[in-house]
Homo-oligomer: A and B are copies of this chain.
Amino acid sequence: MPLKPDLPLPEPETRRVGYAIVGIGELSSSELIPAARTSEHAYVAALVTGDVEKGRAFATAHGLTDADVYPYGEFGKLAEREDVEAVYIVLPNRLHREYVERAARMGKQVLCEKPLGVNASDAQAMVDACREAGVLLMTAYRCQYTPAHWAARDAVQGGKLGPVKLVDSIHGQVEDDPEAWRLRRDLAGGGPLPDVGIYCLNTIRFVLGTEPEWAFATLYQPENDERFREVEESLSFMLGFPGGVIANALTSYGIHKTATLRVLGEAGTALMDPAFTYEGLKVTLTDKEGEFTPSFPDADQFGLELDHFAGCVRSGRRPWTPGEEGVQDHRIMDALYESARTGQVVRLEAVPGMDVFRGEKPEVPGQS
């Protein structure tokens, strides 16, 4: 499937949405751009990068031309590109806001990597800017678009597990590059929590559908490890949800790659292990009858994400994970850092209801 269609474009309502990818790091080059090939409704129309030479080689390889490659300094020129209807911001967290706001002002629809910003007020400003500009803003929570995560959520919401009492999640890996921007508080907004722990947080909220009422956290920042001068190595947190549901989570930049989620209900459990990887997601539903591991259609997570947002661009509907979904995670992460700093439980603003921060339910392959 071509990255850039070589045939006359179809009518507006059905033609693919052209994206500019802003930032060509590991994620863009290994996952996003290849994924665009699997998309039904999206294609990559332009690349924005700090390394034009690399960008051009990339462009050639993917059927784009040198003219489709922009240095960061010429980001504004995308305004002239009518075929670029959306931008996908894949930059260090600190830069999200600037580029989201500039894109919004150009009238581009905005898909932004997680975490949305570096804290709740930063993220809220992005939501406000997009609202004012009349463009959509989606937080790129790919896990909320996979058949595996929906199978776990459906087991919870459909009652298959009975009343849910507890949730447990772990996400961590070794970060051993002391120069990584992810280890700079200023650029990242925190350590493993906003980078990998956010998967635990966001997915716990997703499967329950409700919002936590309080938060507690403790963190560990070793004194003699240059990697962790600015941010925590590990963070453990606990969240209280309506109805007495309690969730525990662990995140770390100092553990062998681990990604799990377990929902514990009275009648059964749902285990995702691995829970957050790009491939090989596995769900095990256990109850008194036995263990069931559903199989899922083979679909690229990023392709699903790009397609959902492309569909929203066409329909004008609010994405399932809009900016507000990203802001809420920041509110909770702000509370977790506050709890870790003070040693106290932090109360969160009550948010009754289900899926309060979410928009249009996505189409998920294999789901009826």
Report the separation of the CA atoms of residues A288 and B7 in the bound assembly, to the nearest whole angstrom.
Answer: 36
Give the contact-size bracket for chain A: 35 or more
A169 CB to nearest B CB, Å? 9
A174 CB to nearest B CB, Å? 6
B-contact bits for A250-277, CB 8 A (1 contact / 0 none): 1010111010101011111100000000
User: Which chain B residue lies CB-closest to A246?
Assistant: B236
Residues of B within 8 A of A267 (CB): 256
User: Which chain B residue lies CB-closest to A269?
Assistant: B256
| Among B218, B244, B289, contact of A246 (Cβ-Cβ < 8 Å) | B218
- CB of A107 within 8 A of chain B? no
Report the separation of the CA atoms of residues A343 and B166 in the bound assembly, to the nearest whole angstrom.
Answer: 19
- CB of A61 within 8 A of chain B? yes
Q: Which of A1-28 contact B (CB under 8 A)?
A: 1-4, 6-7
Report the separation of the CA atoms of residues A341 and B279 in the bound assembly, to the nearest whole angstrom.
Answer: 43
When the two chains form their complex, are residues A265 and B269 in contact, meaning their CB atoms are under 8 A apart?
no
Residues of B within 8 A of A254 (CB): 163, 165, 266
- CB of A286 within 8 A of chain B? yes
- CB of A172 within 8 A of chain B? yes
When the two chains form their complex, are residues B286 and A294 in contact, meaning their CB atoms are under 8 A apart?
no
B-contact bits for A328-350, CB 8 A (1 contact / 0 none): 00000000000000011100000
- CB of A280 within 8 A of chain B? yes
B-contact bits for A278-303, CB 8 A (1 contact / 0 none): 01100000111111111100000000
User: Which chain B residue lies CB-closest to A58?
Assistant: B2
When the two chains form their complex, are residues B290 and A234 in contact, meaning their CB atoms are under 8 A apart?
no
A162 CB to nearest B CB, Å? 8
Q: Which of A25-76 contact B (CB under 8 A)?
A: 37, 56-57, 60-63
When the two chains form their complex, are residues B291 and A255 in contact, meaning their CB atoms are under 8 A apart?
no
When the two chains form their complex, are residues B256 and A244 in contact, meaning their CB atoms are under 8 A apart?
no
When the two chains form their complex, are residues A60 and B61 in contact, meaning their CB atoms are under 8 A apart?
no
- CB of A305 within 8 A of chain B? no
A302 CB to nearest B CB, Å? 15
Give the residue among A161, A240, A255, A343 with the most B Cβ atoms within 10 A: A255
- CB of A222 within 8 A of chain B? yes
A230 CB to nearest B CB, Å? 16
A14 CB to nearest B CB, Å? 18
When the two chains form their complex, are residues A218 and B240 in contact, meaning their CB atoms are under 8 A apart?
yes
When the two chains form their complex, are residues B266 and A57 in contact, meaning their CB atoms are under 8 A apart?
no
A255-B266, A343-B345 are known contacts. Are A166 and B61 too (CB-CB below 8 A)? Answer: no
Report the separation of the CA atoms of residues A246 and B60 in the bound assembly, to the nearest whole angstrom.
Answer: 49
When the two chains form their complex, are residues A168 and B165 in contact, meaning their CB atoms are under 8 A apart?
no
| Among B63, B238, B246, B288, contact of A61 (Cβ-Cβ < 8 Å) | B63
Report the separation of the CA atoms of residues A345 and B236 in the bound assembly, to the nearest whole angstrom.
Answer: 14
- CB of A170 within 8 A of chain B? yes
A60-B6, A234-B165 are known contacts. Are A255 and B250 too (CB-CB below 8 A)? Answer: no
Residues of B within 8 A of A295 (CB): 288-291
A7-B57, A62-B63, A294-B289 are known contacts. Are A256 and B268 too (CB-CB below 8 A)? Answer: yes
**Additional A-B contacts beyond A220-B244, A258-B262 (16; CB < 8 A):** A2-B61, A6-B60, A7-B57, A37-B61, A161-B256, A166-B255, A170-B264, A233-B244, A236-B248, A246-B250, A248-B248, A256-B266, A256-B269, A256-B286, A260-B262, A293-B293
